[in-house]
Structures are given as C-alpha cells and as structure tokens.
Amino acid sequence: AAAAVLATGACSGDGATASPSGTWHSLVPLPAEVAYRGAGFTIGRDTAIAAPPEAGRAAGHLAAAVRRATGWAPRIGREGEIRLELTGERPGASGRGESPGNPGAAGRGDPSADGPVVGDPGAEAYELTVDRDGVRVRSGTPVGLFRGVQTLAQLLPGDGATLPGVRIADRPRFAWRGAMLDVARHFFTVEEVERYIDLVSAYKINVLHLHLSDDQGWRLAVAGRPELTAVGGATEVGGGPGGFYTEQDYRRIVAHARERYVEIVPEIDMPGHTAAALAADPALSCDGRRRRPYTGIAVGFSALCVGRPAVDRFLVDVIATMARLTPGPYLHIGGDEVETLSQEQYNDLIERAQELVRAAGKRMVGWQEIGGARLAPDSVSQYWQTGRTPDDVHRAVRRGAKVIMSPASRVYLDMKYDDETRLGLEWAGLIEVEDAYGWDPAELVDGVGDDRVLGVEAPLWTETAETMDDLEYLAFPRLPAVAEVAWTPQESRDFGDFAARLAGHGPRWAELGVDFHRSPAVTWP
C-alpha cells in the first residue's frame, strides 16, 4: 500500500466532467485550463514511455500508474507513444514565487539536482495533450513533468486503458501546498508517514511539515542527546509508548517524499510546547527540576528557560541536527502559544533560533506569533488563528516575510466534521468539506494578498487521532479540498463542480483501504 498512487477517474457520478468520448473524469485539483476534445488514446500491451534521463521519477511514477490501471508494465526509453518532454524553457519569475534559501545559501538546501520543489509556481507548469496517436507531457522542468504525470494518473480509468482526448495547460496558484502531520501527540511509524505522503501527494501537495516535538513527545534523534528520545520519546497523549525516528528513519521519510517531489519541513517547537524536552533534560528548566512526562492535551504551560547557557547549547544542537538531516531549504521552529515568558524573552529566543537557522543556510518558518520578533525578510510566518487581529502577521509582512495560510476554522483537519464525528476537537468550529473549500487565501488577512502569500497548509494535529485510519478519516475528503484551494485559480473554483469531481475519488479511496468521511454535500457513487 505504501506505493499506492491514486489514479482516479472513470466514474459515472453526477456532474463529473464529461469527455466527448463518453467517459467521466474527476481531476482534483482542477487544472488551470482543461479542454476535452476529440478521440482519446488506448494504452496497449506494447505502449512505451519516452522520457529524458532527468524525468526518471516522472517516468517511473507513470509506469507504475499504468501498470496498476492496465496490468501492463510499459517500457521506459527513447521512443514511445507516451512522451515526456523537457522544453528547455525555464519559466521566468512570476512575482509570487520564492527563490530557495537565503543569500548565504546559494546552491545548498536544494533537495534535488533539478531545482527546488517549493519555488516559482511557474516551474511546476506543464502541458498535457492526449489524442488518438498518443500522449504528450511537456514542461520546462522535471518537477513540472512530474505534476503532469500526476494529472495523467488521475485520467487513467481504474478499470481500463482508454484515456480521453484532452488538452490541459496547468500551473499552480501557490508555491507552498502543504500538509502538516503531528507525530508528537501520537506517534506514527515511518510506514504510516510514507502512506500519508502517498495519499496527499496525489493531490499535488508538495510539502509535508512534520511536527516532531511537543509537550507529549520528542520524535527526532539528536546526536549527543540520547535522553531526548529515550525519555522524551517514550510517551504520547493518553500514556501510550510513543516512539521516535532515528536519523536513518528520518532520511527514509525524506527520500520517500523526494521521489514524489514533496519537501519535508521538520518542526521542533520552541520555546513553548517543550514539556517532553524538559522531562528529558532538567537543565533546560529555570528551576533545574526533573519533570514527569506529560500526557494530557492542555497547551501553553511549558517553556524553555530563555537565557540559560544550557538552553542555547540545546538550540545549537537541535537546529544543527535538523539542518544536517533536511535537504530542503525550510526549518520550522514552532513559536506558538507561549504563556509563561515575557515578550522580550520570547523575542530573544526566536531571534537566536533565526540566526542559527540562517547560519545553517536555511530559512526559518514559524507560527504567526513569531511576528512579534524581528524577522528576516526570508523568514516565513504561518497564520493559524482565525478571528484574532493578525497584528503579528502584519508585522512579519512589513519586514518582508511571506505567509503560509492555515486558518484553523477552514483547514484544521483535527476539527470535527459535524456533531457526530467520533474523533476530533471543536475549538475552531465544525468543518465540513464545503468549509474547507470555500475561502480565498488572498482575501483572508487585510493587506496580505497574492504577492505576500507563499501558500496554504492543512495541519493535522493528533490529540484525538491514534491510528492510520483516524488520520485518513480526518484528512479525506478535506485535504483534497485544501489542495484545490492552493492549486487552482480562484476564478475557476466552484464548490458544486468540485463536489462532483470529488465523488469519483470515493471508489478509489475505498479500493486503497482509505477510511474517508462521506460528506453529505457530495453524492458518492
């Protein structure tokens, strides 16, 4: 199941986009331009894939999708009816994109030899045409070819070999299209994280933000600090055994993500949400007393003892480990919900973390509260608190920082769908799929329009989610809705049309064993 890719299509749901050949397709996220026209192409036993060496991941992904849909394993070589072509035209700056790394980071922090995964959205642009003679995917970049192949995989019927005649020209609205998984409140194994990557990346999610530490658990091995995982890793919400990732485990997750052009963004939350670290190392507390592991679900009560030399050494070691293990350009330092420090203490810690992150050639990401500190222009603020006056976001933007939009009342996948949902919290409201879909990231915060929005991210906090089934139930179908918010031009989005396309994904989820919520606004087949 870890290798599963959603090749969704061919359903006969109400209102799904009809192609002239009479088949039905369910592209999510909706491409910028789609025109179904003319005869399609039927994949045969001898159909081959032609691809340049740089497109190896795209070709491999496509071959696997074809094999799942048809049973035939296409050859990959120089000739073929399905052609992946690099056009050699590198797209220019769009004004909305990001250059990777800070000025000191040139050439580093790049997860793949072929360019950043979270960069100029134009780099992910592609064209896809299908006619009776074959299939052609064209892009200026390997990552763009991969996005085109992901669309093609959704056009493949689950039970046959005929693709519709179609012409698609596509590019994402936003560079950062994230999913966050909290592996601290409850621990999830490498295999579970890999399955989550498989499921979300089918919707062109390109960032998996891993929330690796919190009051209830510390999940990443740090060289020279075995107590962090031995003590801090041995608990979780409710008192279960917890767990942690060794360096090798973490590298496996990074490699799995990279195969799908997904960037891993690790988060170690500080200075708050640190009870597990404080339980592991009493030197991090002001009173120097050893604390017992915490297994409840309160927030805001714990903090590192800012100003202590032991705390500074801890920051140095932790950030160095994150930077060394993470090929991508972003490190998340948390920064949320600190109730026991002065603003000055808080700012000191955030600014020190930022200095260490930048010295490692990376860019700092933090929850919106970091806007209280003096941010560098290459730092990134993550908005989450709907309803509050977002002064901290405005301050961050005035310093040149960009913003990731994660409004809790829209995209917190840990909220209940309705009164009857057996899992989840409800402090940010009940969130049905139409709520997750029906908002515009550029209209959320005054003065933070398209040019300041780096992208969108859907967090999945796990106070109430303990199993893979729980994760799937909370993420599906809301995660695909958020993926379309992040990818599709605002003027092309319509909930009714989305719901009709989404319906076609239900049977495929069922086939993959994905436990999803049958939202009543969707007519599931």
Smallest distance, ligand TNX to C-beta of residue 435, A = 15
Nearer to ligand TNX, 367 or 516 (CB): 367
Find how far residue 151's CA is from the centre of its chain. 18
- Please say whether the beta carbons of 280 and 231 come within 8 A: yes
Neighbours of 83 (CB within 10 A): 17
Nearer to ligand TNX, 120 or 336 (CB): 336
Q: How far apart are CA 423 and CA 404, in angstroms?
A: 26
Q: End-to-end distance of the chain based on CA atoms, in angstroms? A: 23
- How many C-alpha atoms does 44 have within 13 Å on its Cβ side? 9
Smallest distance, ligand TNX to C-beta of residue 334, A = 8
Give me the residue label for tokens 């339980």. 279
Instruction: Provide the angle, in degrees to the nearest 10, between the axes of the packed helices 190-201 and 247-259.
Output: 20
Smallest distance, ligand TNX to C-beta of residue 390, A = 13
Smallest distance, ligand TNX to C-beta of residue 17, A = 35
Smallest distance, ligand TNX to C-beta of residue 461, A = 4
Read off the tokens for 217: 């658990």
Look at strands 207-211 and 263-270 and give their pairing: parallel
Please classify residue 324 by burial: count the beta carbons closer than 10 Å to its beta carbon, then call 0-12 exposed, 13-18 middle and 19+ buried. Answer: exposed
Q: How far apart are CA 174 and CA 142, in angstroms?
A: 18
**Bridge partners for 272 per DSSP:** 303
Nearer to ligand TNX, 337 or 497 (CB): 337
Nearer to ligand TNX, 10 or 304 (CB): 304
- Please say whether the beta carbons of 241 and 234 come within 8 A: yes
Q: Which amino acid is located at 492 in the chain?
A: S
Please tell me which residue in 337, 355, 434, 511 is annotated as part of the active site.
337
337 annotated active-site: yes
Smallest distance, ligand TNX to C-beta of residue 303, A = 14
Label residues 270-305 b or e (16+ Cβ within 10 Å = b). Answer: bbbbbbbbbbbbeebbeeeeebebbbeeeeeebbbb
Smallest distance, ligand TNX to C-beta of residue 265, A = 14
Nearer to ligand TNX, 360 or 445 (CB): 445
Nearer to ligand TNX, 213 or 229 (CB): 213
Nearer to ligand TNX, 175 or 184 (CB): 184
Read off the tokens for 279: 């339980």
Q: Which residues contact 49 (CB under 8 A, 6 or more apart)?
A: 59, 62, 63, 66, 74, 75, 76, 77, 80, 82, 83, 84
Smallest distance, ligand TNX to C-beta of residue 425, A = 5
- How many C-alpha atoms does 74 have within 13 Å on its Cβ side? 28
Nearer to ligand TNX, 64 or 425 (CB): 425
Which spans in 2-126 are helix H? 56-70
Residues near ligand TNX (CB under 6 A) are: 299, 336-337, 367, 384, 412, 414, 425, 461, 463
3-state DSSP assignment of residue 209? strand
Tell me which residues are annotated as active site.
337
